[in-house]
Amino acid sequence: MIPKIEKAATNLNIGMKSVTRRPATIPVSPSVLTGAIDKLEAIK
**How does pLDDT run along the chain (44 residues), one tens digit per residue?**
455 555 555 788 888 887 888 888 888 887 888 888 888 889 87
How far apart are the C-alpha atoms of 14 and 7, rounded to whole Å? 18
Non-local CB neighbours of 13 within 8 Å, separated by 6+ positions: 25, 26, 27, 28
The pLDDT score that the predictor gives to residue 1 is 45
